[in-house]
Amino acid sequence: MIKIAPSVLSADFANMGQAVQALVGWGADYVHFDVMDGSFVPAITFGPAMCKAVRPYTKLPVDVHLMVEHPDTQVEAFAVAGADIITFHVEADCHAHRTLQHIHALGRKAGVVLCPATPVCMVENLLDSCDMILLMSVNPGAGGQSFIPGTLDKIRALREMAQARGIALDIEVDGGINPETAKPCIQVGANVLVAGNSVFTAPNPKDVIAQMRGTIV
């Protein structure tokens, strides 16, 4: 099943509760929450307090993408704030397996994220500890960038790696996703699509989400 996770990085920060509330009516499956610390990536967005503030506005799973240094120090605060899924960058954590265990011990789904330059072999030994793996199709740190076509080979390789091990893994792709780029990502094995700009700038976000899922042309 294809899941769509609109990124609130592209929402109106002054009205985040309303933005999150609208997603279920648009047909979204997750709320994608882009946390940036100004160190792992130059931008700073929001932290656990924003997650806690919007939590009452939606029953959709909150999918937190930690673009932060030392992610293990942040996972508990986001779990307490209401995150359902917490992903973090392998490039920011030399103890990724332990951090995955920590997130699971907090009762949340856990996953790792790979930057465009990071090969999928980096997660070969983490596949059985992840509920989801997020492949960045832009360089992290900003919305509205163009899709990096080389990501398709990474999606395909990761899906083949998981299938070879009999692991039913969610593969999420994030960055520059719209109805045009969504299709090839799904064809090679992605099943969770993050989309910020293409959804929040659309005149009819509900149609864009349906087009990405493939339910309307």
Chain residues binding ligand DX5 by CB under 6 A are 7, 9-10, 32, 34, 65, 67, 138, 140-145, 174-177, 194-198
Separation in Å, CA 137 to CA 85, 102, 122, 153: 20, 27, 17, 11
- State the number of CA atoms in the 13 A half-sphere of 106 facing the CB: 23
Residues forming contacts to Zn ion in the complex (CB under 5 A) are 34, 65, 174
For strands 170-174 and 132-136, give the pairing. parallel
In terms of CB distance, is 9 or 133 closer to ligand DX5? 9
Report the residue number, 79 or 85, with the smaller CB distance to Zn ion: 85
- For the chain, the maximum distance between any two Cα atoms, rounded to a whole number of angstroms, is 46
Given the residues 34, 72, 93, 170, select the one marked as catalytic: 34
Q: How far is the CB of 172 from ligand DX5 (least distance, A)?
A: 10
Q: How many angstroms separate the CA atoms of 212 and 209, rounded?
A: 5
**Partner whose footprint covers residue 37, from ligand DX5, Zn ion, none (CB < 5 to 8 Å by kind):** none
Q: Catalytic site residue 174? A: yes
Choose, from 37, 93, 170, 174, the residue flagged as catalytic.
174
Q: Is 34 a catalytic residue?
A: yes
Residue 170 interface partner, choices ligand DX5, Zn ion, none, CB cut-off 5-8 Å depending on type: none
Residues 6+ apart with CB under 8 A from 136: 113, 114, 115, 116, 151, 174, 175
Q: Which is nearer to ligand DX5, 125 or 204 (CB)?
A: 204
Partner from ligand DX5, Zn ion, none binding residue 175, C-beta < 5-8 Å depending on class: ligand DX5
Q: What residues contact residue 164 under an 8 Å CB cut-off, 6+ apart? A: none
| Residue whose CB is less far from ligand DX5, 63 or 72 | 63
Q: How long a stretch of residues is the chain?
A: 217
Residue numbers annotated as active site: 34, 174
